[in-house]
Structure 1
């Protein structure tokens, strides 16, 4: 009888499908950014209003407005303006603000850390609160059954349906205006993070808590948890050591996807709470028809969403290479 010996697979051969999958995601990232820049570019120029008139002021004469339009390059064809903008992006130039005559890159460098700090606090709050509430809901569901399940579904469904700006408005009225326990706006202190972070995180917490609860209840039917339960382990060990590691991966995946919608909500929340970040800056730029500033900020926010989602895919691919290769 002949025995066949299989040749060992080199580490490079094992990594090749993962590398290809990551390369495809990077190509998708570049294409998505180009499409995003084109959509923003056209949307701003189709919208009514004259940025040259805004820069010149209402008292400027027609020739003065035309001179400013030429200096801003707005007299050129759209395709010429867009190719010039893309050429600047390749060289790291996001343009110059029409309103302040300052580089857009400098404005973003100043305001991006402020937005990231708010988004980071909100994301941390989402992950911690949803995992804790999800595990608690699993325990209550197993103890109380349908009675708790109906209440949980109703409450989380209601919270998840309330828009961020409505949540933020009521938080300001309750905790800043009525009771005055927290500041209503700005970022001068650590307490100023509480209201905007809650406004951003409340809806995602409700959604992610439901997902954690569903995945956790399904995991109780798996063999490894049946074995752990047969050993009569304390609930603390059962939930934290055996159940938590199996629900945290899916929770982090959904949290990464929710981060995109949370960045979109940052624009409204920053305006509501006078938070001096990118969201507040882009609202001001839209009102002033400041094309380069709007384009630069939207590109940065959009790139952040795409990059974070890509990183989530890559991290999950490292933990489970089949999931990364399978979606390529």
Structure 2
């Protein structure tokens, strides 16, 4: 029943996503055909192109045609470049997933040990200064937008120091700044969660028993506390990935990364409806699919979570 409810919710969410991606683009003021053909294009040519693309049809008919395209796996053709939109997505999506995947792995590698360290240092109210510095610092880092991190990193490491390339995707060093820009806020958020989970595990009966047996401290932390902290923290891994994919839009634009984000910004400013609609749909679909997978996996790993919902 839980899986069925999740699948029904997923189907409803997909309907909402399709409608929203269609409506958002059509709410942008301006004429996409005039933008594609130029301000000096003859009116006859503009009207002919609008009729060919179905933009003179009523909005419900355009929505129906859009749904039929998606169900058929055909996202149409770019107004600006005449490229098949499906090919644009196929070329650029792997770069977006590579960037978001690298940021997710880096975030977990840094955030989990950092959060555990903070939890161990502040157990039982000890080291108030560490607790205040950790909570204040991570709290401040989570509220800064990724594009501001992007600009700051370019100014420092590319312009001032000249250590790393400011844009493009050419070699492993080109990943460093975009991954950092995406990861800083995520590391702060996950580290706060890892600290809370560590404190909870440190207060558990099995840890008190291990300490009563005078087991080595490092063994208690690595063999007992870490696995349980990881289990709780990694449940947000899928959600973290979707958040980083969504957050990569402006980061890709700033770093001229050849992913979907920069192309989406361009397509919106150019009123390239098919490209913008398709990319918005792909971003939303990835989020919904990953969330569905995470929910189903958690229902297997932790059946209590499904009982709570019912």
2:27 equivalent among 46, 53, 73? 46
| Segment of structure 1 superposing worse, 271-280 or 247-256 | 247-256
Q: CA deviation at 1:221?
A: 1.4
Asked whether 1:195 is paired with 2:180, we answer no
**Structure 2 Cα separation of the partners of residues 245 and 51 of structure 1:** 54
Which runs of 5 or more structure 2 residues have no equivalent in the other structure? Answer: none
**Residue 61 of structure 1 aligns with which residue?**
42
1:218 equivalent among 179, 183, 200? 200
- Superposed CA deviations along residues 65-89 of structure 1, whole A, max 9, x for unmatched, are 1011111110100000000111111
**Residue 266 of structure 2 aligns with which residue?**
284
| Segment of structure 1 superposing worse, 248-257 or 116-125 | 248-257
Asked whether 1:149 is paired with 2:131, we answer yes
1:245 equivalent among 192, 215, 227? 227
Does the 8 Å contact 2:101/2:241 carry over to 1? no
Does the 8 Å contact 1:267/1:278 carry over to 2? yes
- Superposed CA deviations along residues 141-166 of structure 1, whole A, max 9, x for unmatched, are 24952121111111111111211111
Flag the structure with larger Rg: 1
| Residues 135-174 of structure 1: pairs in structure 2 closer than 5 A | 135-142=116-123, 144-174=126-156
The TM-score normalised by the length of structure 1 is 0.90
Does the 8 Å contact 2:116/2:194 carry over to 1? yes
2:68 equivalent among 63, 81, 87? 87
Name the SS for the 1:71 alignment partner: helix
**Structure 2 Cα separation of the partners of residues 30 and 150 of structure 1:** 44
The TM-score normalised by the length of structure 2 is 0.95
Number of residue equivalences: 309
Does the 8 Å contact 1:208/1:255 carry over to 2? no
**Residue 100 of structure 2 aligns with which residue?**
119
Q: CA deviation at 1:23?
A: 2.6
